[in-house]
Amino acid sequence: MRYIILGTAGHIDHGKSSLVKALTGIDPDRLKEEKERGITIDIGFADLSYPEDGLTVGIVDVPGHERLISNMLAGAGGIDLVLMVIAADEGIMPQSREHLAICNLLKIKSGLIAVTKADLVEKDWLSLVMDDVRDFVKGTFLEGAPIMPVSSKTGEHLDVLKTCIKDLALSIQPKTAGGIFRLPVDRVFTLKGFGTVITGTAVSGSISADAPVEILPGGISTRVRGLHSHGKAVSRAYAGQRVAINLQGVEKQDLQRGDVAVAPSSFVPTKTLDVFLELLADVPVLKSKSLVHFYSGTSETIARVVLYEKEELKTGEGCYCQFRLQAPVVAMSGDRFIIRRFSPLETLGGGEVLDPTPGRRRRKDGIQDLPVFHTGPLDQKLALKIEKAGLSGVAVHALNGWINVALPEIQNSLDALKKARTIVRHEDTLLHRNAFNILNNKVRDLLRAYHRDNPLKPGMPKEEVRALLNIDPRLYNFLLAALGEVVVDKDLLRLKEFKVALSGAAEAHKAKILDLLVRGEFQPPTKTEITEILKMDQKQITDILNILTKERSVVRVNESIYVSSAAYEKMLSLLRDFFTRSPDLTVAEFRDLLNTSRKFALPFLEHLDAAKVTLRMGDARKFLLKG
């Protein structure tokens, strides 16, 4: 089954709702006030079914009054084709023009025109009106569209109009069910026995009964209790359908028009958008930092416009700019929007969202990325978004929710980028190849400076480098493994070409320290005592002791005590011999065995316990080494 959404457009009292009722048998005016006053106040809904063609056309009927344009816009966002309605007895009127301009800005590509109330005028007058309509739509998406005189009262040409709607609907590419589910909410109400219900046009993806769903921007997590589409209960609803979702455990007062029902963890509400904006002809100049009304999907909020590379936008012009919104919206790259003057209300223009999650941008930084997001091929857009994320990368699911494209198309582009080695993937994170170059340069610079300032240290602590780079730990290890010029040595990093190089004086100090430890045997001078004996800085002593430890010339017992490797091996030999004669060893026995003092015996035993040479059992030790 194909699902297409048709939206009405036109001036107040030109017969839009009457025509919808005549075509479908459904009265789209559902409010008591609408029926009493005879005008459409809010959006209404109906549908036309063509079962022999496997087609359902959902109809969104919009109000025509100038004061209700915001309601009209709430219904216009998801439509695929437009039925422009112009009354034969009045002809083209102000909202005829404004509605057509809005549809043009939303880039609706197909439609037709119904000249209603044809029974009220003479044929000559009707012919003149139809000529006016042809001139009116020149240069718009309705140029060359079918124009039909109809009468909701007499039924004139309604069958022809139905056929024309069917033919146009069958020629339209349906909304993709291959994207992430997204439904801008246009109504919220409660039904006895059901609870809270939201309705809207599913603009992408699909959803099934009992599936989890998230309502944004409020971040409400819930489940689908039931689904209805075009008056029937369904187990699954698809993009292009009018859908009513019965929600589980959500109160009506927690929801409103402008919310968006989405697949969980797919979208991030935003208050900043980079866009391409076009002004209509014959509207006031728009200055940078101006306030406007911003409409996207079914949402409406106030936005401040920051123009890039100019201070004002003149009538009929277009430019790149940023909207800073008063309230968050859910938007994707490729979405369309409309702006209206802050006061008095007047449609100014519209355009395309280019980046719904832009990073901080200073005006002097330039906007080289925005033309790519605007007109570039999909693979370039994705590569640029990943590159802009730097060392943080982009999660695949976040990228899927960033751009309004079917998921298979996104995946094909990502596969091509990986094959070309433009990007790499680690678990769910995508990184640009340039991120490796940035990381390599940053790490090299950090290590080069560290080696310069600490020539006796074998490397820089790995965690210290990560903290300076502010990278996720899981991603950090993956990135380090790809850096060929950096050596990872346990918890240290060093440049591949770096070697600890001692000066002549340092070599002499090294020899003196080793000699002191060898002569001290089991009563070696502590680090502090070595410092005092050699009159050296303790940092230098520590660095040289670390080098001696790495060379295995000495063994580190604790922060203060080191012994020569020869003394350590002698200690192990004495222990082996002792434990051939006795099953356990006391501290006093160990002290006497080494002919040392308790000051050294206790640290030695604690080290041996930690090294699993001995095992403490109360006040005695057992020997763990075999052979």
**Are 60 and 116 within one domain?**
yes
- As to burial, measured by CB atoms within 10 angstroms (0-12 exposed, 13-18 middle, 19+ buried), residue 32 is exposed
pLDDT tens by residue, 194-209: 889 999 999 999 999 9
Does residue 451 sit within a domain? no
Q: What's at 70, amino acid-wise?
A: S
DSSP one-letter code for 172:
S
The pLDDT value recorded for residue 35 is 47
d(CA 397, CA 182): 14
Q: How far is CA 272 from CA 353, 361, 414, 488, 513, in A?
A: 10, 11, 26, 41, 63
**Are 164 and 232 within one domain?**
no
CB atoms within 10 A of CB 26: 16
Q: What is the count of structural domains for the chain? A: 5
How much is the average pLDDT of 545-553? 85
pLDDT tens by residue, 553-564: 899 999 999 999
Pick the last residue of a domain from 113, 143, 171.
171
- The token pair at 176 is 């993709």
Give the domain range for residue 30. 2-171
Does residue 497 sit within a domain? no
**Are 34 and 127 within one domain?**
yes
Helices (H), 92-122: 94-105
pLDDT at 602 over 80: yes
**Are 578 and 597 within one domain?**
yes
**Are 252 and 105 within one domain?**
no
Does residue 455 sit within a domain? no
Predicted confidence band at 505 (pLDDT cuts at 50, 70, 90)? low
**Are 188 and 329 within one domain?**
no
Residues 6+ apart with CB under 8 A from 409: 178, 378
CATH number at residue 388: 1.10.10
**Are 217 and 244 within one domain?**
yes
> Which of helix, strand or coil describes residue 378?
helix
Query: Percentage of the chain with pLDDT > 90?
Result: 56
Burial 337-358 (b: 16+ CB within 10 A, else e): bbbbbeeeeebbbbbbbbbbbb
Does residue 494 sit within a domain? no
The pLDDT value recorded for residue 615 is 92
**Are 133 and 195 within one domain?**
no
pLDDT at 318 over 60: yes
| SS3 assignment for 532-563 | HHHCCCHHHHHHHHHHHHHCCCEEECCCCCEE
How much is the average pLDDT of 594-612? 92
The pLDDT value recorded for residue 590 is 92
CATH number at residue 235: 2.40.30.10
How much is the average pLDDT of 13-18? 86
**Are 538 and 602 within one domain?**
yes
pLDDT tens by residue, 409-466: 999 999 999 999 999 888 888 999 998 888 888 888 999 898 888 777 788 888 998 8
**Are 330 and 425 within one domain?**
no
**Are 425 and 518 within one domain?**
no
How much is the average pLDDT of 270-297? 94
Q: Which residue has the higher pLDDT, 387 or 28?
A: 387
Does residue 280 sit within a domain? yes
pLDDT tens by residue, 36-76: 445 455 678 888 999 999 999 988 887 655 555 666 677 67
Predicted confidence band at 260 (pLDDT cuts at 50, 70, 90)? very high
**Are 279 and 407 within one domain?**
no
pTM of this prediction exceeds 0.85:
no
